[in-house]
A and B are shown apart, each in its own frame.
Chain A
Amino acid sequence: MPPLVFYLLTLAVFGAIYGTLALGLNIQWGYTGILDFMYIAFVAVGGYVTSLLMLQPSQPAFGETYVLGLNWPFIPALLVGGLASALLAFIVGILALNRLRSDYFAIVTVSIGLVLYTIAGNDTPIVNGWDGISGIPQPFQDALNLDANSYGFFFLGLCIVILILVYIFSERLYRSPFGRALRSVREDEMVAQGLGKNVFALRLKAFVIGAFIAGIGGALLVIYVDAFNPSAWTTGETFFLWAALLLGGSANNRGAMLGALIVPVLFAEATRFLPTSNLPPQYIDAFRYIAIGVLLILTVRFRPQGILAEKRFRVRKSKLLAPAVATAGGGGVRITDADLADDPGTLDDGSPHAGEEGNTL
């Protein structure tokens, strides 16, 4: 495979996987306004559980120790991986989502992420500690028997199929009354409560659903890179995904996926032109995270809605009321056309069909 093709293929696979991950984070943050700074831990749990289920039993004689090793096929391992992340989110959510305001909750998530990271690294028998796991079987390769190049394209296809499924799921969720209730929680918790919404239950559900998607994406990620240790899921990685979501556009699923395509490329390329020869290699990583930080600040400062802003729902023409029979009286503060002249509808993504997507689920 020519190097350029290989490079683009790698980017595409990462784009699809990060796209999936960004969609999950979008349900938590974009829809519901939950500040989840342990998102990467959900990715890791899904990745670990899926891999550990698919791996052969561990062979301590070769210096590898991990739990499970059940040689499961891909699909059930993937689902259980997602469910494991969802279960973790459920536990964290039950403990903390009810009691803590969003910023305090965010601090709790950072700490839980760090605790899990430290345990995974230091308690070697669970996931082989800092050395990590590797040699995870390639999904469906038993049946397909493809050469390495073709398998690369097959795996890309697999990732894209899952991305599309998650995208369709997320869109349906967004348009449903359930999604609207989530957004009402995001906008104003007290109003939502006043309207009879069980805010805690809604936030818990969104948190768990997002974590499930994180687990699925994490499984694909770990299988693709085929070597996974705790250094791959530091808190910095969480902000990497946050940068993707915020740059692309919170609460817009296409925006989330777009950000997930752009940010990894920026991340990899941002340091390309540094004079690397006389810098210690760890500086490169540090510069990359600085670049992510700068990107986050610039996005929030200059385009807080992201590249693709949240879509505005419009009532479909077919659903409008029949023209009013001239209403009696009224007077007072009438809404005139002048009030509507300054239409901020330019925040839309410009798609000519945006206007047709009404409240019509």
Chain B
Amino acid sequence: MKEKKAQLKIQQMSFMLIAVFVFFMLVLLFYLVISLSGLKNTAKNLESDRVAGMITKIASTPELIFEDQPYSIDADKLMVLKNQPNYLSFLGINGLTVERVYPKVKGVECSLGNYPECDTIKLFTDNEETESANEGAFVALCRKVSIEGRAENKCELARLLINIKPVGK
């Protein structure tokens, strides 16, 4: 009778300890889930801050800027940069597209053969679809033109879109 009572106490104690252990594990899991979901949101917010800053930065980077004019992109430099993919990692982007908004010519992509009679200059990207269509900004797309033997600057309205590297890739 005495032995049976002791066995029952041990069992009670074991169950109690297991229950306490499981309870703490559940609390830990709950905490981890909450904190990880917070981490995801933080990463998203950081990413969106990064993109907003990056567009401003790219529009005024010396490799793209037109004669130190703010928010003006040099179309001639873009055409030259088409052959220099080493800038891809430097700018921290997957690709860049500059779309002429006005006046639109034919909606065709620029190449050395059809430039400047074209609308879209794509750098470092072959994607048909621009992944970050929402992450764009309006800029002036400028180039040198010869008018009656005189060189002049010609600027047109364009939209700068960037394809960014997702966080963790």
A and B held together in a complex: no
